[in-house]
């Protein structure tokens, strides 16, 4: 798994399909090895991750719903039947999805991400292994940030363009570098019972460098909104450090966090932005076609993985095919439907709050659940900004980070007097 993490920069700038295949294969192998070598740990983790299973079950159930045979014409887009004839495309009547193969591939990819998350949660039950994975995550993502900065400094070097799949993946992993390095700072500065050894100083210096270079890279790439999201993640980490220094009770700190989060959300909501408005890096002509597609999409969606296929009937004449949505949220809204989108946002928010609550209650190793909580926070923000979460290498990075957080969430170590 460490090799998979450290290969992140290579996956980000290379073929995304290759990265997906390697990630799926690695997830299957790792989970099989874990099940064989540590069945007790696997059973313990699976039994304790109730909130995680709730969040994970929503997309899986919706994927199954889109693939199930249904009465013809009951839940499908009435326009697609006529358009498929004009486009000389086969229409999978009797299913929600308009492309069974694409939706089935999406389900396999999702199961692979789940397997990788569970494997990381089991491996991370050992504190030494968890620290190694966090270090690898920090190093791999920081190297990606350096590559992103180099790519923006010299356009002729051959690295992915800013608006390409690889370019979006690099910016997403750079944001993850800020969060991972922030958690390392929380870990090193929170060791009040230990002296400042050479290793501790080295970890702290590298983490500070990683945060600085990642912010510079995001600014150079013009990802100002993503920088703000990453800064919000760092602010949450600082909030945790502060409340622990003040020795606030868990419920007091959690209540204060909810109030501050509600204020931040209200400030953003006051602008009343739409899903289209938030994807500010997309071309206006693309947004106009997407707006038309979303307004006519059926409530169950067109099927996971079918955005480029479905956009053929909405694309303006003379424009090239749109294979990638302007943002992940737009893609999910079109492919899964608005109901599934808000269900997924609610379940991810619930998981994020559960991890944050676990962070406040633990007496040690708080940086692991804090890593997962802040990664989910930044991921949720980024889903509205660009399509980078559709990248397999980004999904792999997020899955391992969440697995690390879950590994320590299910453990012991509750703070005395925390309640």
Q: Check: CB of residue 405 under 8 Å from CB of residue 370.
A: yes
* Mean pLDDT, all residues of the chain: 81
End-to-end CA distance of the chain: 36
Ramachandran angles phi, psi of 280, nearest 5°: -75, -10
364 or 371: which carries more pLDDT confidence? 371
Report CA torsion sign: 395, 368, 383, 107. positive
Query: Using CA atoms, how far apart are residues 43 and 57, in angstroms rounded to an integer?
Result: 18
Q: Check: CB of residue 12 under 8 Å from CB of residue 169.
A: yes
Per-residue confidence (pLDDT) for residue 262, from 0 to 100: 85
User: Residue 61: how many CA atoms within 13 Å on its side-chain side?
Assistant: 10
**In this structure, how many other beta carbons lie within 10 angstroms of the beta carbon of residue 304?**
27
Ramachandran angles phi, psi of 370, nearest 5°: -65, -40
Report CA torsion sign: 17, 23, 24, 25. positive
Q: How confident is the model at residue 12 (pLDDT cuts 50, 70, 90)?
A: low
Per-residue confidence (pLDDT) for residue 156, from 0 to 100: 64
124 or 17: which carries more pLDDT confidence? 124
Per-residue confidence (pLDDT) for residue 36, from 0 to 100: 73
For 289-322, the pLDDT digits (tens) are 888 888 877 888 888 988 888 888 778 777 788 8
Query: Using CA atoms, how far apart are residues 338 and 328, in angstroms rounded to an integer?
Result: 13
Q: How confident is the model at residue 20 (pLDDT cuts 50, 70, 90)?
A: low
Q: What is the pTM of this model?
A: 0.86
- Residue 377 in 3-state DSSP? helix
Max distance between CA atoms of the chain, in angstroms, equals 72
Per-residue confidence (pLDDT) for residue 417, from 0 to 100: 46
Per-residue confidence (pLDDT) for residue 166, from 0 to 100: 54
Contacts of 38 (CB under 8 A, 6+ apart): 122
Instruction: Tell me the range of 89-98, 219-228, 285-294 where mean pLDDT is highest.
Output: 219-228
- Reply yes or no on whether the pLDDT at 416 is more than 50: no
Q: How confident is the model at residue 340 (pLDDT cuts 50, 70, 90)?
A: very high
For 162-185, the pLDDT digits (tens) are 555 556 788 999 999 999 999 999
Per-residue confidence (pLDDT) for residue 228, from 0 to 100: 92
Q: Check: CB of residue 35 under 8 Å from CB of residue 43.
A: no
Which token pair is 319? 């424009």
Query: Using CA atoms, how far apart are residues 270 and 284, in angstroms rounded to an integer?
Result: 23
For 220-279, the pLDDT digits (tens) are 888 888 999 999 999 999 998 888 888 888 888 888 888 888 888 877 777 666 777 777
């Amino acid at each position: 798994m460490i090799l998979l993490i450290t290969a992140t920069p290579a996956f980000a700038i290379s073929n995304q399909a290759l990265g997906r295949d390697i990630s799926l294969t690695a997830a299957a192998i790792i989970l099989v090895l874990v099940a064989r070598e540590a069945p007790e740990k696997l059973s313990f983790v699976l039994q304790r991750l109730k909130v995680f299973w709730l969040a994970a079950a929503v997309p899986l159930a919706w994927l199954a719903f889109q693939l199930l045979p249904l009465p013809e014409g009951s839940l499908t887009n009435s326009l697609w039947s006529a358009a498929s004839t004009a486009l000389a495309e086969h229409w999978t009547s009797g299913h929600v999805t308009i492309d069974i193969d694409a939706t089935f591939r999406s389900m396999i990819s999702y199961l692979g991400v789940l397997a990788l998350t569970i494997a990381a949660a089991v491996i991370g039950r050992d504190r030494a292994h968890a620290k190694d994975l966090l270090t690898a995550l920090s190093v791999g993502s920081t190297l990606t940030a350096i590559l992103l900065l180099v790519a923006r400094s010299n356009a002729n070097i051959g690295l992915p363009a800013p608006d390409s799949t690889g370019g979006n993946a690099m910016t997403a992993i750079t944001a993850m570098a800020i969060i991972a390095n922030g958690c390392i700072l929380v870990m090193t500065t929170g060791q009040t019972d230990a002296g400042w050894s050479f290793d501790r100083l080295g970890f702290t210096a590298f983490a500070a460098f990683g945060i600085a270079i990642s912010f510079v890279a995001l600014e150079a790439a013009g990802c100002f909104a993503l920088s703000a999201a990453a800064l919000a993640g760092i602010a949450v980490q600082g909030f945790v450090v502060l409340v622990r220094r003040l020795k606030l009770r868990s419920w007091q700190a959690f209540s204060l966090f909810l109030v501050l989060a509600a204020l931040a959300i209200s400030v953003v909501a006051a602008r009343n932005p739409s899903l289209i408005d938030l994807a500010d890096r997309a071309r206006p002509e693309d947004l106009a076609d997407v707006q038309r597609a979303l307004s006519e999409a059926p409530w169950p969606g067109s099927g996971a993985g079918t955005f480029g296929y479905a956009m053929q009937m909405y694309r303006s004449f003379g424009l090239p095919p749109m294979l990638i949505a302007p943002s992940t949220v737009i893609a999910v809204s079109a492919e899964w439907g608005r109901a599934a989108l808000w269900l997924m946002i609610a379940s991810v928010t619930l998981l994020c709050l559960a991890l944050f609550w676990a962070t406040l209650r633990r007496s040690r190793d708080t940086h692991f659940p804090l890593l997962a909580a802040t990664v989910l926070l930044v991921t949720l923000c980024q889903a509205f900004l660009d399509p980078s979460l559709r990248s397999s290498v980004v999904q792999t990075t997020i899955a391992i980070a969440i697995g690390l957080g879950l590994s320590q969430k299910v453990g012991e170590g509750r703070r005395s007097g925390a309640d």
